[in-house]
A and B are shown apart, each in its own frame.
Chain A
Amino acid sequence: MREPVAIAVERLGKRFRLGPRATTDRFTERLQTACLNTVRRPWQWLRGSSRPTAPTTAHRDEYWALDDISFEVRQGEALGIVGRNGAGKSTLLKILTRITEPTRGRFGIRGRVASLLEVGTGFHPDLTGRENIYLSGAFLGMSRQEIRRRFDEIVAFAEIDAFIDTSVKRYSSGMYTRLGFAVAAHLESEVLIVDEVLAVGDAAFQKKCLGKMQDTAQQGRTVLFVSHNMLAVQTLCSRAIWLDGGSLRADDTPAAIQQTYQRATDSAAPSSHLLSASADGLVRVRSASARPIPINAALTVQSPVEIVVDYDIIDQPRRLHVCLYVFDSTGACAFCTFSEPSTHPPGHVRATCTIPGNLLNAGTYAIDVQIVEQGTTVIVGIRHAIVFDVLDADRTTSWLGTWSGAVRPACVWQVSSLDKATRT
């Protein structure tokens, strides 16, 4: 017999407005434009010029962050939600936790929802740890009696016994995080929503959090887990959905989702067909793309990546070289690399660069492509010409947290005991 439905999402949609409407946050400006428009509109009408364009621009400034999402989660299920940045994962969570209202559709939830969207929600720096536990608990929907009952458990889990009556502004960031997580994790909720908490805290605490989450699922509570980290999703979840561009692309087992997700990110994301030309129009870039080696494998941390830039030289031979600037998802330049300058006759030229495996970290990378003449003059520059995701497919360690750094080279390690050497 199947478990009852814990979360039912029915045709959920959320629309955002972009553009000047959303950015105007001054009342006086709104008044000013309103006044100007009352003068301008009739004037335009008198001149017989184009009709006021307000309705059409309004449509262009809207976009659906979530579009017609429907799924249901049964009680005791752990559902992973995966997708790239901007796919609508956070918006979905914000709607399910009722932080924002959907524009369309509705969702049903059975029982209380505890969210670990942000640990330490509602903490006030001037209050003590004890006071903040009650404060934060109230926001998460716990009554005072309930918190009192679980108070010792929370303090023990957070490992802050000695500092419970110190104001939290004197806490270290680790203590702060641990306390926040402890409060949220001890709420007896029917549904637990977790968003990338694995990114915080040290390895030992992460392990504790994961254990807590697994307990939660085994107790018959429902867990929604959002992560970029396919590995963590596969470990923790029994089912996963994949959001892409605001719509639901797939709903399957985590393993199957991982495969579809990888195939799609490999085929869709890396190639970016564009045409950009130098100022004189005599050097034209046809396309720039990234693909894993071998070509039909997944683009993972271990696989080498081949960057291909195709361009045409028109009219006369030129001495050019190609530069690649690789940026990580924080926008920092991880490294840059360039070809040797070479002279080619007019025609189609292909530059191929292989980024070795075990260099890039997991995450999204963007590459700026430049074509440089005579070693100094940039004649074509294409910002973020290639964007691709590197996946973290198999890790040998048991740790699932975010691997820091713009790169993840396979360094050679040697650890040995020197005791004997020092004695002699």
Chain B
Amino acid sequence: MTSTPIKAPRPSELTRVTTSVPATAAVRRPPDLVYHGARSPWELVDWRELWRYREVLVALATRDLKVRYRQTLVGVAWVVLQPLATMFVFVTLFGLLGRQPAAAGHPYLLVVLAGLAPWQLFTNSLQQASVSLVNNPNLITKVYFPRIILPLAAMVPAMVDFAVSLVILSLATLCCGVWPAVTFCLAPLAILPTLGVTLGLGLWSAALHARYRDVGYALPFLMQITFYLSPVVYESAALIPSSWRWLHACHPLVGAIDLFRWTVLGHAAFPWQTVAVSSVSLLLVLVTGLAYFRQVERDVADRI
């Protein structure tokens, strides 16, 4: 006898068996048989499963935070120092030029800081997310969990940094003689579009990086270009001609940063146009990012 043909159980048979579990046989009443197979590529995220694995997300994020802050005292200082230094450079630069790319009545110092806070959240978490798959081959090839948890967890430390920069921002509003506006309460909400863009691009870069190792070289360069494309050290309303603003806003970070800055400055006009256009491109980036990540996730354990 060389082969034994084995009858595949019919689903009906399985369900029938489930209902008649002997009470003594099991440690506790076993759950139903759950089937797994090749998942449809159209199913972008399995939310229920993501919720079940939330402990992994928490564990990974705390691991990253602990490792990061255990060894370095500079950790927190760095979060404060980096935006202040960048701000100083640009305030000096545009001060020497004699013209600051901010709308009339907006203190430029505050404009830059309000741009740098979401920018740093974006750039730091994107950097971490892009290497989140390639840096954890031992996890990916050894144990199952929804892979999207890796880039998600990689974004958490940057969010903690962002909380620190919110404190700096509120202090800066005081320094500029602008009492924190009522809209400032909305700042934690207004950062959500930035997080959306970061997640979308983070998924793209993490998945691309897992497939093609040279993506790691291209990313710093692309980030530099993105810095100038995004309204970080300028206000789009003050620098971009109004007829071109819709095109500029196709870059999803434009609307996201404009929205955040609006909550900090308080009395500025709401940037309807850029926010509307950017929302569309944000959605596009996020959905394609999820789709491509899903595609790569299927065989990442075999190829990493």
Contacts and interface: CB of A to CB of B under 8 A. Distances in A.
Interface size class of A (residues with CB under 8 A): 35 or more
Interface string B193-232: 0000000000000001001111100100000000000000
Interface in A101-133: 101-111, 115, 117-118, 121-122, 124, 126-127, 131
Given A5-B17, A131-B66, A139 B37 contact: no
Interface stretch (B83-91, B93-101, B135-143): B135-143
Interface string B119-153: 00000000000000000001111111100000000
A138 to B, nearest CB: 4
A98 B298 CA distance: 10
Residue with the highest number of chain A CB atoms closer than 10 Å, among B21, B33, B301: B33
A248 B4 contact: yes
A124 B9 contact: no
Given A25-B211, A110-B31, A219-B27, A126 B8 contact: no
A204 to B, nearest CB: 26
B59 interface: yes
A119 to B, nearest CB: 10
A144 B58 CA distance: 11
B2 interface: yes
Interface stretch (A67-75, A349-357, A409-417): A67-75
A221 B30 CA distance: 10
Nearest to B4: A251
B17 A109 contact: no
B215 A4 contact: no
A28 interface: yes
B40 to A, nearest CB: 11
A136 to B, nearest CB: 9
A16 B302 contact: yes
Contacts of B38: 101-104, 106
A8 B139 contact: no
Interface string B179-205: 000000000000000000000000000
Interface string A74-105: 01100000000000000000100111111111
Contact of A10 (B4, B8, B39, B145): B8
B142 A99 contact: yes
A28 B30 contact: no
Interface string A178-203: 00000000001010000000000000
B1 interface: yes
B298 A101 contact: yes
Residue with the highest number of chain B CB atoms closer than 10 Å, among A98, A100, A105: A100
A28 B141 contact: no
Given A117-B142, A252-B4, A5 B14 contact: yes
A339 interface: no
Contact of A135 (B59, B70, B140, B145): B59
A33 to B, nearest CB: 13
Nearest to A138: B59
A138 B143 contact: no
Contacts of A102: 37-38
Contacts of B218: 27
A208 interface: no
B71 interface: yes
A8 B67 contact: no
Given A25-B211, A106-B37, A4 B21 contact: yes
A394 interface: no
Nearest to B35: A108
A26 B66 contact: no
A5 to B, nearest CB: 6
A418 interface: no
B143 A139 contact: yes
B33 A5 contact: yes
Contacts of A71: 6
Interface of B: 1-4, 6-9, 14, 17-18, 20-22, 25-27, 30-39, 53, 55-56, 58-60, 63, 66-67, 70-71, 138-145, 208, 211-215, 218, 298-299, 301-303
21 contacts: A8-B14, A16-B302, A70-B6, A75-B25, A94-B301, A97-B144, A99-B140, A99-B143, A99-B301, A100-B298, A102-B37, A110-B32, A121-B138, A121-B143, A126-B71, A138-B59, A190-B27, A190-B31, A250-B2, A250-B4, A251-B4
Given A99-B140, A108-B33, 18 more contacts: A3-B25, A4-B25, A6-B30, A75-B26, A97-B143, A99-B144, A101-B299, A102-B37, A103-B38, A108-B34, A122-B142, A126-B67, A138-B58, A140-B143, A141-B53, A248-B4, A248-B6, A250-B2
